[in-house]
Amino acid sequence: MKTINRPLRTIVHSKDELVFQITPKHVQRAKCGKPGECVIAQALEDLYQSDFIAFEVGSNVTKIYSRLTVVCYHTPYNLANALKTFDKTKQWHLPPGEYTLLPYKKRPRRWEKAKRQGGTQSVFRGRISAPTRRTMKACQLMAA
């Protein structure tokens, strides 16, 4: 097996907003289900032209890759919702215009927040432990 020696990219969390334009041309060139070729990625590619290598647009985080860094932005709700709709229906429902990617803020999980505040009682309203993500399905409830 051959190994490739690549320098590691440093991850940079943006502190400023990124403003870009979406035009009908971007909507026509976009491909559904591909985070590097969606409408927002097409608009970012036109904005930066050849300065950056790749773009990865997600419903929470948008990443812009260069040779040595990865810049992370927070994807706002309106753009994330439009991306989900575009992937399902192949129609971009937002009008052409100026849009903004927000500065990236790492948000702590509820459990970590509870630890910092001195326990889970205040955050989880009297529960002894933190709630789990596993819930019983309707068929499991009926069988019990």
Phi, psi dihedral angles at 56 (to 5 degrees): -130, 110
More confident residue, 90 or 9: 90
Q: Are residues 45 and 90 in the same domain?
A: yes
More confident residue, 142 or 83: 83
| Residue 131 pLDDT > 90 | no
Q: Are residues 18 and 39 in the same domain?
A: yes
In percent, the amount of the chain with pLDDT more than 70 equals: 67
pLDDT class for 132, splitting at 50, 70, 90? low
Q: Are residues 88 and 129 in the same domain?
A: no
> In the prediction, which pLDDT does 133 show?
52
What domain range is 81 assigned to?
Answer: 10-103
90 inside domain: yes
Q: How many domains does the chain have?
A: 2
3 inside domain: no
Identify the top-confidence range among 63-67, 73-77, 107-111.
73-77
List Cβ neighbours of 23 (8 Å cut-off, separation of 6 or more): 43, 96
Say which residue the tokens 């052409």 belong to: 96
Q: Are residues 98 and 117 in the same domain?
A: no
pLDDT class for 58, splitting at 50, 70, 90? confident
41 inside domain: yes
Of the residues 86, 103, 120, which one is the last residue of a structural domain? 103
Q: Residue 13: beta bridge partners?
A: 72
- Whole-number average pLDDT of the chain: 77
pLDDT class for 21, splitting at 50, 70, 90? very high
| Residue 112 pLDDT > 70 | no
Residue ranges with strand state E in the chain: 10-13, 18-22, 54-57, 61-65, 69-74, 97-103
